[in-house]
Amino acid sequence: MQLPENLLQKLENRKQNNSLRQLPSFNNLIDFSSNDYIGFSKSETIFKQAHHYLIENEMIQNGATGSRLISGNHYLYQITENFITEFHEAESALIFNSGYDANLGFFSALPQRNDVILYDELSHASIRDGITMSNAKSYKFNHNDFEDLERLIQKFQETTIYIVTETVFSMDGDSPNLEELIILSEKYNCYLIVDEAHTLGVFGEKGEGLTQFLNLHNRIFARIMTFGKGLGCHGAVILGTTELKEYLVNFARSFIYTTGLSPHSVATILTAYQQLETDSEPIEKLRQNIVHFNQQKNLLGLKPLFVRSKSAIQSAIIPGNENVKRIAQQLQDKGFDVKPILSPTVPEGQERLRFCIHSYNSEEEINKVLELLRDFIC
């Protein structure tokens, strides 16, 4: 049976706008597109240690077969959440199946009907979807603009206010002034939530994330850490008070009504965190590569093209879906996996090439891909 006509028309519109999304095929290109910032998804050490941990503790036969509230709460969860709590210097930690599930669960459960959510206009789709499921009213503020945020706060001082931002934004790679934002939230007794999906494994001596690196983590109501980027595995965790964890266990539907992660998945999370604790070499190499990338783009005269970023995400603005797809294809033809980000994922006119830097990229690879970019845009 064919799709309804109105849905077929939506697909046709995407094709006409040159913005149709398609699943990429596997390739052997040099990786400048994945979020595997420190190479943990490729780590044989983590894979073997996770498997060994399961065998040693006789967990192979005891899989998760339901919600954690029924039969899926195997004891590895407690071990892993305790480890994560200590690693992040938090009071409690609650693992979710993905960053999307964590954001949906948090924002649909916490803010109530008479509350207000104020979120950065460039917040991730998972945050926005969670907000949509909430009964609270929500308003966006201009990107990293705290004057605009304070104007909104002052309109709703008589109610409970939740402020939402990210420590590194996934499309621009930039960061808010977190200390200024915390001071503002404390001034008006707001609840501040930060999504640290793109800072885990990237910032801090042990890759603990940006808020902890800046020693601001104890002044934030909730931190959301996603494992599918820097840790190279599946899942996410919400860090906060013991009462917050208890509330989420009781009211976060994306936690309650889903099968828990398998023991192997949880063992992989634990092993990845243990690797962060003991091996800082890939984190340091990533930092060096980010510095080198920024230096090279300046030397080649490409700085005006890029959004200012000190993170592993570097975005070169190349307006027009057709134009940015053409240059991405040219880079791919030369052996470099650089993806175009098209509208409507980003606003029209803000289409871009997004370069993701990794610990395993060589300086020669960085030099070459930027030289090719310079040549292709001339």
Mean pLDDT of 25-46: 91
- Residue 22: the pLDDT is 81
- pLDDT exceeds cutoff 60 at 347: yes
Task: Tell me which long-range contacts 59-64 makes (C-beta under 8 A, separation of at least 24).
Answer: 59/263, 59/267, 60/263, 62/263, 63/262, 63/263, 64/259, 64/260, 64/261, 64/262, 64/263
Nearest to 358 by CA among 170, 208, 232: 232
pLDDT digits (tens, 9 = 90+) for 80-91: 999 999 999 999
The position carrying tokens 């309804």 is 4
**DSSP of 98-121, one letter per residue?**
SHHHHHHHHHHHSS-TT-EEEEET
Mean pLDDT of 123-134: 96
- Residue 2: the pLDDT is 85
- pLDDT exceeds cutoff 60 at 350: yes
- Residue 183: the pLDDT is 98
- Residue 27: the pLDDT is 78
pLDDT digits (tens, 9 = 90+) for 243-276: 999 999 999 999 999 999 988 999 999 999 999 9
What does pTM read for this prediction? 0.93
- Residue 17: the pLDDT is 82
CB-side neighbour CA atoms (13 Å) of 140: 11
pLDDT digits (tens, 9 = 90+) for 273-313: 999 999 999 999 999 999 999 999 999 999 999 999 999 99
Rounded Cα distance between 136 and 281, Å, is: 44
Q: Are strands 236-240 and 191-195 parallel, antiparallel or unpaired?
A: unpaired
Could you give the domains of the chain?
44-278 (3.40.640.10), 280-377 (3.90.1150.10)
Rounded Cα distance between 117 and 130, Å, is: 11
Which residues is 239 bridged to in the sheet?
93, 223
Rounded Cα distance between 355 and 325, Å, is: 14
